[in-house]
Amino acid sequence: MQDRIKRIIDIALAGGALLALSPVLAAVWLAIRIEDGGPSTYTSKRVGKGYHVFSLYKFRSMYRDADQRLAELASLNQYAAETTDVIDESCPACQRQGSACSDMLMSDEGPICESRWATIQQSKAAGVFVKFKNDPRITRVGRFIRKTSLDELPQLVNVLKGDMSLVGNRPLPLYEAQALTKDTSIARFMAPAGLTGLWQVTKRGGTEMSAEERIALDNRYATTRSLMGDLTIMLKTVPALLQTEDV
């Protein structure tokens, strides 16, 4: 019964929000097109409740050549870290043999070998990898829509389709979901993917949150979620939308 009521609320609020915010959606779409002439939206494969894979919609916030620019920056060693959403194709073993040295994991942009993925995760755990600040790949419009979370508004369509809920756990890229199949993290997939959630309103835009802290919050939401809890998270989301840093 609770899930049925939650779904009715999702449809009513998401549909109403799309109608009310249609001028804003149109303005953002146009601003992105004017800035660099590229497509205003993009889709990426994400994993939600029960490991259901779906196409997530967002407004584009990076330049069209973001991947190429990132490779150039990496070769100049101007950045000490990359986020886990970035593909690192510099696996020495793969380069030596001219093919994948281990099983391939799939990310939004393409495959990454399991060996390289494990190395990245180990380095991140050791504190080597940090988030980009003032990422030069982000457009001027993109920086604004990220800080105000306007880039996520197209996900209201995902809510209407039933891929997501207004409140839930972050929909993960495929390779992240593949890495979270242990007993300590599998509980998070009992809950739907959400436009906002417990971890977003806890530390979003503030202090750094470790992977372990985020998983713990996701597990807590999945095992204790309620309609009243969802309402509380939605109310806390409003001040959390205005972030103090890029995430």
| Within-domain flag for 245 | no
Same domain, 18 and 77: no
Same domain, 39 and 147: yes
Radius of gyration for the chain, computed over Cα atoms and rounded to the nearest angstrom: 19
| Within-domain flag for 133 | no
Domain that holds residue 32: 2-62+138-240
Same domain, 77 and 177: no
pLDDT number for residue 119: 60
**What is the count of structural domains for the chain?**
2
Same domain, 46 and 146: yes
In angstroms, the CA 230 to CA 164 distance is: 14
pLDDT number for residue 240: 64
Last residue of a domain, one of 125, 147, 169: 125
Q: Are residues 162 and 210 in contact, defined by beta-carbon separation less than 8 angstroms?
A: no
pLDDT along the chain (247 residues), means of 10: 92 96 96 92 90 93 73 46 43 66 59 65 42 72 91 96 94 80 79 91 65 84 92 84 53
| Within-domain flag for 132 | no
Same domain, 97 and 46: no
Same domain, 159 and 220: yes
Same domain, 33 and 85: no
In angstroms, the CA 6 to CA 228 distance is: 11
Q: Are residues 167 and 233 in contact, defined by beta-carbon separation less than 8 angstroms?
A: yes
pLDDT number for residue 135: 73
| Within-domain flag for 173 | yes
Same domain, 97 and 210: no
| Within-domain flag for 131 | no
In angstroms, the CA 242 to CA 69 distance is: 27
Question: pLDDT of 19-78, one tens digit each?
Answer: 999 999 999 999 999 998 889 998 989 999 988 999 999 999 988 776 666 556 554 433
Same domain, 54 and 81: no
What is the 3-state secondary structure of 187-209?
HHHHCCEEEECHHHHHHCCCCCC
Report which of 184, 205, 192, 201 is spatially closest to residue 164, judged by C-alpha positions. 192
Ramachandran class of 238: left when φ > 0, alpha when ψ lies in -120 to 50, beta otherwise: alpha
Same domain, 94 and 179: no
Same domain, 58 and 71: no
Q: Are residues 170 and 199 in contact, defined by beta-carbon separation less than 8 angstroms?
A: yes
Same domain, 98 and 202: no
